[in-house]
């Protein structure tokens, strides 16, 4: 059997150390995954939101690498999250500490649905299906006719455009339950946000704060939510195709800059270029690869590879602080504006996803 190409060997090595770091984050989080590692303060408290969507990453990796220990880690996260679900169906926002005031969170609940649905598909345990259904119904029943939530928002009264990443997990839950009320609620969210799209492809309000540059992290959240929702609903013309102007722009920028995207973009597409948001890099790579699955386009694969290679080049894989070995910083340089001097678990999650998806795509390209 011929040896794997050097790129695949490199991606395999980076994937392994990234997964090792994620498993360490769970050990330090004592059930949930620590939100981040700081060289100054050490490991943070666990983060329910990202612990939820790390679950499908671990399950995918367990299958790809035939590693039962990764599946066990995913189940551990699931059990921890089951204990945190409120009787009403929601999960709390923020990091979980002994002083946390547990309040419902729209976005966090949706991201945890991602994990519950993945576990429901991966096991025969009905608890995961029940938890996903309960959470999705809470999101649906608290949603207004205008596609907005009045409770559970990160900013009171603000429903950002990256809530397309809420609609997608709702639709995942709909595929489990068949409850059309959930599908219709997600569709209202998507329609409202799509109404904010400009002719340039930019979607108003896709950052954390209105009027400030949007990190590529939240830009990618917005685009990925639409891409995945379009696939679930079989509605590419309505929700997928309108994202292509933005994705083509980002793919072209990645191609010209050898994989380094600016950290953020203003409302006129002017860039904040002095740092790069590594999480956003990995997420945009995933968006490009998901689009490319619809129709083969090696341009998109090439841009995704450059984005992933750039994150690999900024990842510590050898000696150094144990907390940073295999981690991905929020920004490059680490003192950039996104997650200043911290290594978030969601950056590692999306990097692992991109490495797996890109490797699988390249293997198909070289298969006889």
Instruction: For residue 354, give its domain range.
Output: 6-366
Does residue 1 lie in a domain region? no
Q: Total domain count for the chain?
A: 1
pLDDT at 368: 62
Distance (Å, rounded) from C-alpha 17 to C-alpha 25? Answer: 12
pLDDT attached to residue 4: 65
Q: Is residue 108 part of a domain?
A: yes
Q: In what order do the strands lie in the sheet with 214-215?
A: 214-215, 264-265, 271-272
Rounded CA gap, 133 and 94, in Å? 22
| Model-wide pTM > 0.85 | yes
Question: Does a structural domain hold residue 220?
Answer: yes
CATH number of the CATH domain containing 96: 1.50.10.10
Predicted confidence at residue 157, as pLDDT, reads: 87
What does each of the 368 residues of the chain score in pLDDT, given as a tens digit? Answer: 344 678 899 999 999 999 999 999 999 999 999 999 999 999 999 999 999 999 999 999 999 999 999 999 999 999 999 999 999 999 999 999 878 789 999 999 999 999 999 999 999 999 999 999 999 999 999 999 999 999 999 888 899 999 999 999 999 999 999 999 999 999 999 999 999 999 999 999 999 998 899 999 999 999 999 999 999 999 999 999 999 999 999 999 999 999 999 999 999 999 999 999 999 999 999 999 999 999 999 999 999 999 999 999 999 887 677 899 999 999 999 999 999 999 999 999 999 999 999 999 999 988 76
Two tokens, residue 266: 């203003």
Which pLDDT does position 270 carry in this prediction?
A: 97
Distance CA 349, CA 50 (A): 9
Is residue 282 domain-resident? yes
Burial level of 235, CB count in 10 A (0-12/13-18/19+)? Answer: middle
């Amino acid at each position: 059997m011929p040896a794997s190409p050097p790129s695949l060997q490199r991606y395999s090595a980076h994937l392994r150390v990234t997964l090792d770091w994620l498993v360490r984050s769970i050990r330090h989080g004592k059930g949930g995954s620590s939100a981040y590692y700081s060289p100054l303060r050490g490991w943070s408290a666990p983060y329910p939101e990202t612990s939820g969507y790390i679950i499908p990453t671990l399950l995918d990796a367990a299958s790809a690498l035939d590693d039962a220990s990764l599946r066990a880690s995913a189940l551990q996260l699931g059990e921890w999250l089951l204990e945190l679900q409120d009787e009403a169906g929601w999960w709390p926002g923020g990091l979980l500490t002994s002083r946390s005031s547990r309040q419902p969170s729209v976005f966090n609940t949706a991201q945890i649905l991602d994990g519950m649905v993945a576990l429901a598909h991966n096991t025969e345990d009905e608890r995961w299906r029940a938890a996903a259904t309960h959470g999705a119904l809470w999101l649906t029943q608290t949603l207004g006719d205008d596609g907005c939530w009045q409770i559970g928002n990160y900013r009171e009264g603000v429903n950002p455009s990256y809530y397309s990443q809420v609609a997608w997990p709702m639709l995942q839950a709909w595929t489990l339950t068949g409850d059309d009320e959930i599908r219709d609620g997600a569709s209202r969210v998507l329609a409202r946000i799509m109404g904010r799209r400009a002719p340039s492809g930019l979607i108003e309000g896709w950052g954390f704060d209105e009027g400030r540059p949007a990190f590529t992290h939240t830009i990618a959240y917005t685009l990925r939510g639409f891409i995945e929702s379009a696939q679930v609903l079989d509605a590419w013309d309505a929700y997928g195709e309108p994202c292509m102007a933005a994705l083509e722009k980002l793919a072209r920028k990645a191609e010209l800059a050898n994989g380094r995207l600016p950290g953020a973009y203003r409302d006129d597409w002017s860039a904040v270029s002095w740092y790069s948001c590594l999480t956003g890099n990995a997420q945009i790579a995933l968006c490009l690869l998901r689009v490319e699955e619809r129709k083969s386009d090696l341009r998109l694969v090439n841009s995704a590879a450059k984005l992933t290679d750039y994150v690999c080049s900024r990842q510590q894989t050898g000696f150094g602080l144990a907390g940073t070995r295999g981690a991905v910083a929020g920004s490059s340089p680490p003192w950039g504006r996104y997650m200043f001097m911290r290594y978030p678990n969601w950056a590692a999650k999306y990097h692992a996803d991109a490495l797996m998806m890109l490797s699988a795509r390249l293997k198909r390209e070289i298969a006889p």
